[in-house]
Amino acid sequence: MKKSRKKSSSVAQTSTGNTMIDIVKEQVKTLMDSGQISAFLGLKEKQGSVFPFLYKSVQDLDEGFSLGDLEKPGQARYPIAKLLMRIVKSDAETSYGALFRGCDERAWNELLRWNQVNSPQRVFKVGIACPSELAQKHECRKPFPDEYVAGEKVDPVENISVQEVMGKDLGARLEYWMGEFDRCIKCYGCRNVCPVCFCNVCTLEQDSLIKTGDIPPENPMFHLTRAVHMAGRCIDCNLCTEACPSDIPLRILYKRVAEIISDEFGYVTGEIAAGKSPLNILGSDPGHTAAND
C-alpha cells in the first residue's frame, strides 16, 4: 500500500483557512501585478524534487510552487541569498522578489556588509517564519526574518551541540575533530552551498595552502583553512552540514568561530549594522582585494 505523505507546515491551514503557500503566492502575485517586481526567486517542486526557480509570471506560480517542505518542514533549502546576489549582479535594472527564511535574511544582510550587492532597493523580500521543528533541528538563533507574511514566530534555540563539544578537554576536542575530518572526501559541497562564500579566488584551491589533487585532503589543514575563512561570515544556516555527504558537523565548528568573533570584536554576523567584519580590515584601507570583486 502506498504510504501517504505527512502533512507539512506549508500545507497546514492557518486560522483564516489559507495555507502558507497560498499566502506567499498571493503576496508574490500582488508584487508582480503591481509591477514592483519582474521575477521572483523561490522554490519549485517537480517529480518529487525541489529546486530553486526564477518565476517570471503570475501563471508560473501555479505550477509546482513550493516552500521547500516535503515530508518535513524545510527539507529542501538552498542558498537563496547567494543565488539572488548573482542574479542582481547580472542585471542592473530589473527588480526581483525572493523567498526568505530567517537564515536567508541573515545571509543577505552579511552580503550587504561585504559590499556584494548593488542596488539592494531592487529586492523585495517575502519572508516566512520557520516552525519549531525546523528551528530545533538546526538550533536556529533567529528562525524568522524581521518581516514575514506567513508562519508563526518561535523562540530561538540554544546551541547545545556547540556546548557539548566545548565541554570536552583540549585533547578530546582535537581527537573528535580529527576523526570527523578524516571522513572528508573533498567534494567542496560545504563551500558551494554556503550563502556567504563569494570569493572569485578560493583559498581551498590554492596549492600554496592546500595541495590540489590530494583526496582525502590534508587533515586538518583543509577544514581549518575554511573555518578561518568563515570567521566573520558564517550566518549559522547549517546548509554546510546538510550538504556534507560524510555527515561532518561543520556547523558546530563555524558556530564556535562565530562566537569567538562576537566575544573578541563584538561583531555579530547577519545583522543590519554598520562596519565590516573585523577580519576584513587590515590596518589601513587595503584597497582592492579579490574577495571584494
Measure the CA–CA gap between 54 and 45, rounded to whole angstroms. 13
Residue 145 falls within a domain, yes or no?
no
Residue 45 falls within a domain, yes or no?
yes
Among 104, 137, 170, the domain-final residue is 137
Locate 284 and state its grid cell: 589601513
Which pLDDT score, from 0 to 100, does residue 8 have?
Answer: 52
Q: Are residues 180 and 114 in the same domain?
A: no
Helix, strand, coil: what percent of the chain each, to 5?
Answer: 40, 10, 50
Q: Which helix (H) or strand (E) holds 127?
A: strand 123-127
3-state secondary structure at position 42 = strand
Q: Are residues 226 and 288 in the same domain?
A: yes
Angle at 28 between CA 22 and CA 31, to 5 degrees: 145
Q: Are residues 26 and 126 in the same domain?
A: yes
Among 87, 105, 137, the domain-final residue is 137
> Which residue range forms the structural domain that includes residue 100?
20-137
Q: Are residues 130 and 175 in the same domain?
A: no
Q: Are residues 50 and 122 in the same domain?
A: yes
Q: Are residues 131 and 58 in the same domain?
A: yes
Measure the CA–CA gap between 48 and 70, rounded to whole angstroms. 9
- Compute CA 58 distance to the chain's CA centroid, rounded to the nearest angstrom: 26
Measure the CA–CA gap between 158 and 259, rounded to whole angstroms. 13
Residue 207 falls within a domain, yes or no?
yes
Q: Are residues 40 and 119 in the same domain?
A: yes
Contact between 188 and 245 under an 8 Å Cβ cutoff? The reply is no
Residues of the chain with pLDDT under 70: 1-17, 274, 281-293
Which pLDDT score, from 0 to 100, does residue 108 have?
Answer: 97
Which pLDDT score, from 0 to 100, does residue 129 have?
Answer: 97
Residue 230 falls within a domain, yes or no?
yes
Residue 124 falls within a domain, yes or no?
yes
Angle between helical axes of 170-181 and 221-230 (0-180°, round to 10): 100
Q: Are residues 79 and 188 in the same domain?
A: no
Residue 235 falls within a domain, yes or no?
yes
Which pLDDT score, from 0 to 100, does residue 283 have?
Answer: 58
- Mean of per-residue pLDDT scores for the chain: 88
Measure the CA–CA gap between 4 and 272, rounded to whole angstroms. 43
Which pLDDT score, from 0 to 100, does residue 273 have?
Answer: 76
3-state secondary structure at position 19 = strand
Residue 116 falls within a domain, yes or no?
yes
Q: Are residues 67 and 174 in the same domain?
A: no
Locate 130 and state its grid cell: 520557520
Number of domains comprising the chain? 2
